[in-house]
Each structure stands twice: as structure tokens, then as C-alpha cells.
Amino acid sequence: MSAPTAATTASDIQREEDGRRLLAAMRARFEAVTAADGVPLFVSGAGELWATFLAAVPEHLRQWHDCAACRRFVDRHGGLVRVGEDGELVSVLWDPQAVPEPYAAAVKALADAVTRAPIDGVFLSSRPQWGQPRTGDWWHLSLEPAAALVYRASPVRTASQAAAERRVDRDTLLRGLAEFPLELVRHAHALLTTDKLYRSEACISVAAWLLALHERLAATANQRARDNLVWQAVAGAPAGFVRVRSTMIGTLLEDLAAGLSFDAVKSRFDAKMHPLAYQRPTAPPSAGNIARAEEIVAKLGAAGSLERRFARLGDIVPLWLPAPEKPAREERGVFSHLRERASKPTWHDVPPTVMTWDKFSRTVLPTAEGLEFLVPDRADSYLGLVTAKNPDAPPIVQWDREDARNPVTWYLYVNGSAPARWNLKPGQFHPVTAVTYQPSMWGDAAKFPHHGQKVIFLLKGARDLEYSGGAGFFPSFLKSEYHEIRSTLEAYAKSAVVDGKDDAEACGICLQKGTTWDYTFRVAGKGGVRLVYKLDRWD
């Protein structure tokens, strides 16, 4: 389509105006339908859409639209759809009510074709421009998607490869849904929420996701709508969720389906969820896996990303920091000793107040000027935060992105570790230098529920005195590009050494959601009043 010239007629000018209104309506429709964050797009299997368009457009417009660039756009992008709340398909480009009258029938034909056909796959494109806007004086159907809709391709996974993986994921999910029916999934979810299975918090999010999908499908009578909802679930699922059989929830479901007793189910589940077994390779890496690891790391430029250092306070995203220390008073007077005595904190002889972390974080923490942690005389969940030694190295962990850097990870010891290892004295209160969530919860905590939830109290002077090796991350933390080389990365993580042990500032005690607690804190509030609180659980 071209801009009118001096030699054009009034009908040519009208045709040009209608064409531009068609383009504007298509772009406006796309922006409105894809405005919500995280809207997955799909390709409808509607077939030759350009032929559908030309057959329905008025005859006097067909030659004007006989354009290779517009044809490519319609055939490549004209079938884009999303899944509505009811499971029915919605065209993201075509709205017959919004286009000029000459195009209403053609656009309706396109909308009907793409919404009646089944989904052919997830649409992923790493192109910042869809279609060709201009060639010389001619303009064409095209659009510029929002940045969130542009697939972030990597050297080891293109958009087409990722789309192909989604097709495999859909088939895998359908088999899982058929093998593990709704009532069985309900049973598994109920068991996981009782806190009677070891580290069940790592599986609850997967079980809840699968249960919600099962219930939604059961409430949908239309088979085609159910198929669309499955595609929607695949497109939006966190990594690994759709592969039901290969997850721990799959193991639990199999045991429940086999009719095993609760004791047997618990024993098998607890053994597989042990930190030394869960998502950890059981054999040393093969020569082939090591070679593949070298290839992937080289393509991603990630060699420097594996070098780690102990984190400092400036590396974390804090929920709370202590109030700045007030400068010492210089002036002295006859009654200065009375002022100093009055300014000393007052301890109230009252029993500790027992509450949940949820209530403590809402009602106590916001006004606390200082915190102290009573170190128990037992092995406990002490941890260290580590981060990338080279801050410019490419992201390797799931919650780290080029546009929102967060390379911080954590490590802790199986069955806990003694306070002395972390330079802490049992039975004494140690100052808290910061409160934070585990790094996977910084930003959008809902994106990585399978990593569990922890609140971390960083303690003054805490550091791992006996640390000698280990890279400070688990292979399960890494992006999906590294999944196939987990055994090599596991071996690397065991032997590598994190720098800066003596400069560590981000070590402390972590409180895990889904367990019961017995932790005591002293809280200094405004006016010097101090109270004692005991935290017993998350919520």
C-alpha cells in the first residue's frame, strides 16, 4: 500500500485512508489484548489466512492488497490468539467492529478462522519488529510488540527450539493428567500441606499448580476449551512443572496410586527429598557431558559467572535494616549523667510474646530500631549468601536477568551446623545487621515457588570459619540452559572455592516456611523500649 500522490483520485485517497485505519485498528487491538503482563500467545492452526482475507475483501481492493510483505505478515502472524478465561480462543489482531466498513467482512472471516481452529503451538519470536513496516513509499501490515512479548533467545536455545520444547511439554503434561486423576492429586496436595513429609514445601507449589489445572479442566465442559487451557498451562508453567512424572510430586502420586501405607509413602518421599539426593546427579559426569558443558558455557560466555565470592550487605535486598547509630553527645553539663541514664534501653520483665513471622513482619519489624537473635545451643539452619565475583558476567541463576541483576545464591549444610562454625556463641544475643528473604524471592516471589520460602536474619560477625570449598549454589538454581549438564556443574560446585570468606557480611540464620520454629529475638523500639519475641512458624 502506498501514500497517495497528486495524480490519485478521491477513491484512491479513501482507499488509502481506510487501509491506514485498518492498520491502526489492528495495532490497537493487539496492544489492548496483550496489555496484561505475561499473556502467552499461540499460533492457531487456521491454515492459509491470506487467501481467506483476499476472498472476503471487496474485489476493488484485492489488487491493491496483492502485496508480498503483507501476505507474509498475515500468514506468519495473522493466526495469533490467546486463551480467554473460559478457555475459548481470542484473536489478538482482528476485531471486525473496529475496522473501516470495506474490511469488516474480511476481518471477521480472519477472526472466525483463527478462533475456530485448534491451537497449533506456542508462539515465540525474538524479533523486535513483526512484519516489514515499509519498502520505499509503500507501507505494510506490521506491528512492534512490547518488550515482554519478545522471546529472549540464547546461544543454546532459539525461539523455534523453545516452541518445539513446549509441544513436547504439552504431550508430557497430557500423559500426566491422564495417569494421575483429580482425586489422586487432591490426596497428594492434602498430604503435602500437613507438614508431615520432609521438605514438602519444595513440592507444594507443583502440587497446587497441578490441582488447580485439574479442577479448572473438570469445570470446563467443552473439550476444545479444555485443550486450550492445557496449552495455556504449558505456556505459563514454571520450569519443570509440566513434567509431572519426573518431579517429586510424580513419585508421591505413583506411591499413592499403588496404595502404599502412609509410613511407606513418607519413608520413600523423605529419602528422595534429602538434600543430598533431591535434584542431585547420582553419578560423576561423563566425558561427553563435560565436553557438552564446555560447549554450552562457551556459547553463553558464562565461564566468569561460575566464579563466586561471599556476599556483603551491599549485595542484598533488605526487608529491614537497623536504625543508624546516633552520634555521641559532645556537650557535658551538671545533669548530663541523668540524660545518659534515661537514654539507656529499658528491659521489661514480661514473658516473650509468641507470634508468627507473618505477624512479626507486619506489626513489629517496621518500627524496630534494633534486633538481636538468641543463638540456640544446637545445630541449626545457618547459611551464607554468595554472589558473582564478576558483576558483569552473564546471568546463570533463574532469578538473575540482564535487566534486573540478582546473582545472589545461598548455601547451608545438611542437618544444620553448629553456631561455633559461624563465629557465634550459644546462649548469647547477637545483633541482627539485616533481614531479607532468600534471593529467589527478591522482586517477584511468585515466580520461583518451587525453591521454597525463607526469611534470613543476617548476624553481626557471622561467617563460616570452617569453609574450605563448594561453589555456594545448587545446580537446581541454574537456568534451564544448564539442565543437561547438571552432573558436570555438580562436580564443579563441589570442588570450586568461593572467594572472600574473611570479608563475608551476609551470613546468618534462615527460617523456613512449612516448619515449626523456636527462635527468640530481642527488639529495640522507639524510645528505648525493648521486648522479647518468640517466632514459632511462618503463618
Q: What is the pLDDT of residues 18-66, one digit of tens each?
A: 888 999 999 999 999 999 878 899 999 998 999 999 999 888 887 777 7
Q: What is the pLDDT of residue 4?
A: 47
Asked if residue 420 belongs to a domain, the reply is: yes
Q: Give, as one character, the DSSP assignment of residue 476.
A: G
pLDDT for res 282: 55
Mean pLDDT of the chain: 88
Residues 72 and 145 both lie in one domain: yes
Note whether 226 and 89 are same-domain residues.
no
What pLDDT score was predicted for residue 202? 72
Query: Which of 199-203, 464-468, 513-517 is predicted with the least confidence, judged by mean pLDDT?
Result: 199-203
- In what helix (H) or strand (E) does residue 16 lie, and over which residues does it extend? helix 10-33
Domain identity same for 111 and 45: yes
Q: Are residues 214 and 141 in the same domain?
A: no
Q: Would you say the C-alpha torsion 258, 260, 264, 265 has a positive or negative sign?
A: positive
Task: Please state the separation of Cα 109 from the chain's center in Å.
Answer: 38
Q: What is the pLDDT of residues 228-263, one digit of tens each?
A: 999 999 999 987 889 888 777 888 999 999 999 999
| 414 domain residue, yes or no | yes
Angle between helices 201-218 and 248-257 (to 10 degrees): 70
Let me know whether 317 and 439 are in one domain.
yes
Which pLDDT band holds residue 403 (cuts at 50, 70, 90)?
Answer: confident
**403 and 516 part of one domain:** yes
Read off the pLDDT band of 286 (50, 70, 90). confident
Domain that holds residue 107: 10-149
Residue among 25, 139, 17 at smallest CA distance from 92: 25
The whole-number average pLDDT for the span 501-511 is 96
**What's the pLDDT score for residue 177?**
95
Residues 137 and 245 in one domain: no
| pLDDT reading at 310 higher than 60 | yes
Total of domains in the chain? 3
pLDDT over threshold 70, residue 342: no
Q: Are 137 and 224 contained in the same domain?
A: no
Identify the bridge partners of residue 531 per DSSP, sorted by sequence position: 523
Least confident of 119-128, 188-197, 204-213, 339-348: 339-348
Position 4 in a domain? no
Judge whether 421 lies within some domain.
yes
Instruction: Please tell me the distance from the alpha carbon of residue 474 to that of residue 493, in angstroms, as a whole number.
Output: 7
**Residue burial 293-311, b: 16+ Cβ < 10 Å; e: rest:** beebbeebebeebbebbbb
Cβ atoms 311, 506 nearer than 8 A: yes
Domain assignment of residue 516, yes or no: yes
Given this model, what pLDDT does residue 228 score? Answer: 97
Report which listed range, 120-124, 202-206, 340-344, 492-496, is most confident.
Answer: 120-124
Cα of 453 vs its chain's centroid, Å? 13
**3-state SS, one letter per residue, for 239-263:** CCCCCHHHCHHHHHHHHHHCCCCHH
Q: What average pLDDT score do residues 408-417 get?
A: 89
DSSP helix/strand/coil, 137:
coil
Strand boundaries in 261-389, DSSP class E: 308-310, 346-347, 353-355, 370-374, 382-388
* Percent of the chain whose pLDDT exceeds 90: 58
Point out the domain boundary residue: 149, 177, 195: 149
